[in-house]
């Protein structure tokens, strides 16, 4: 069994999930975590510290990467075509996880989900929001992406294709949003301020 699905948020499941009962993965995670602590291989505090670290980084790394791509053609080409090299250049450790960067264009809008659980590019975005982990989002964004996006206030014109990307334990997606019109003269730091977590999941688009 892959451990990747179990080294993240399930560890924080101190409250029952939204269905008000623990699922297979939550129970499996608790069993493995308790065993690791019992055998002295890990201390309970270590998990908490790791989660705090993810909490602290937030989506800032992702925003910096996107703003750089908007202002540096060479870097953007690398980010889209050789994302792992781009991460190396930025000193962002992806571990065993393969990153894919999907670029929004005038013809294409990308949105990311993990239909199985909550896989997410944590090194870039921090801890995923609760709605990302919800069964509602996971099931519906695949079946009716335009309707789900509209609930986030994002209306994609019919002329534009919507593509949904399903993450896995080994494979994570980052959406590279379109740079908003009217920001030609903006500095990188100001541009990064437009790039929110949700724009990099693809449920919203940046606007000045």
Q: Which of 21, 37, 117, 167 is catalytic?
A: 117
The window from 36-44, 112-120, 186-194, 200-208 that contacts Fe ion (CB under 5 A) reads 112-120
Active site residue 119: yes
CA distance 25 to 72: 42
Q: Do 54 and 126 meet the contact criterion of CB atoms below 8 Å apart? A: yes
Q: Please indicate whether residue 118 is annotated as part of the active site.
A: yes
| Residue 127 in the binding site for Fe ion (CB under 5 A) | no
- Which range binds Fe ion by CB under 5 A, 12-20, 93-101, 113-121, 173-181? 113-121
For position 114 contacting Fe ion by CB under 5 A, the verdict is yes
> What does residue 41 show for φ and ψ, rounded to 5 degrees?
-85, -20
Q: Contact region for Fe ion (CB under 5 A) — 80-88, 100-108, 110-118, 187-195?
A: 110-118
Q: Is 117 in the site for Fe ion (CB under 5 A)?
A: yes
The verdict on whether 117 is a catalytic residue reads: yes
Note whether 154 and 204 are within 8 A (CB): yes
Is 119 near Fe ion (CB under 5 A)?
Answer: yes
Q: Name the 3-class secondary structure at 158.
A: coil
Q: What b/e string do you get for 41-68 counting C-beta neighbours within 10 Å, with b at 16 or more?
A: eeeeeebeeebeebeebebebbbbbbbb
- Does 201 bind Fe ion (CB under 5 A)? Our answer is no
- Write out the DSSP string of 11-48: GG--S--TTSS--HHHHHHHHHHHHHHHTTSS-HHHHH
Indicate if 114 belongs to the active site: yes
**Is 118 an interacting residue with respect to Fe ion (CB under 5 A)?**
yes
Give the residue with the Cβ less far from Fe ion, 104 or 167.
167
Instruction: Tally Cβ neighbours within 10 Å of residue 126.
Output: 21
**For residue 101, how many other CB atoms are within 10 A of its CB?**
25
**If you ran DSSP here, which 8-state letter would residue 169 be given?**
S
> Of the listed pieces 12-20, 52-60, 90-98, 109-117, which binds Fe ion according to CB under 5 A?
109-117
Q: Which of 114, 134, 167, 207 is catalytic?
A: 114
Which residue, 92 or 114, has its beta carbon nearer to Fe ion?
Answer: 114
Query: What mask, x for binding Fe ion by CB under 5 A, covers residues 139 to 178?
Result: ----------------------------------------
Residues near Fe ion, by CB under 5 A: 114, 117-119
Active site residues: 114, 117-119
């Amino acid at each position: 069994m892959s451990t990747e699905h179990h080294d993240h948020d399930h560890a924080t499941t101190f409250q029952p999930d939204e269905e008000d009962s623990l699922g297979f993965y939550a129970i499996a995670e608790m069993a493995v975590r308790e065993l690791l602590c019992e055998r002295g291989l890990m201390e309970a505090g270590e998990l908490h510290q790791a989660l705090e670290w993810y909490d602290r980084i937030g989506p800032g790394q992702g925003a910096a990467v996107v703003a750089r791509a908007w202002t540096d053609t060479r870097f953007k080409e690398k980010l889209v075509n050789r994302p792992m090299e781009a991460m190396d250049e930025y000193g962002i450790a992806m571990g065993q996880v393969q990153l894919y960067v999907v670029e929004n264009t005038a013809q294409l809008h990308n949105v990311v989900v993990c239909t199985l659980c909550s896989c997410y590019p944590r090194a870039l975005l921090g801890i995923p929001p609760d709605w990302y982990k919800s069964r509602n989002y996971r099931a519906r964004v695949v079946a009716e992406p335009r309707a789900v996006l509209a609930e986030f206030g994002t209306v994609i014109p019919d002329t534009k294709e919507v593509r949904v990307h399903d993450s896995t334990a080994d494979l994570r997606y980052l959406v590279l949003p379109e740079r908003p019109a009217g920001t030609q003269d903006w500095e990188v730091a100001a541009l990064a301020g437009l790039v929110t977590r949700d724009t990099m999941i693809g449920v919203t688009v940046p606007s000045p």
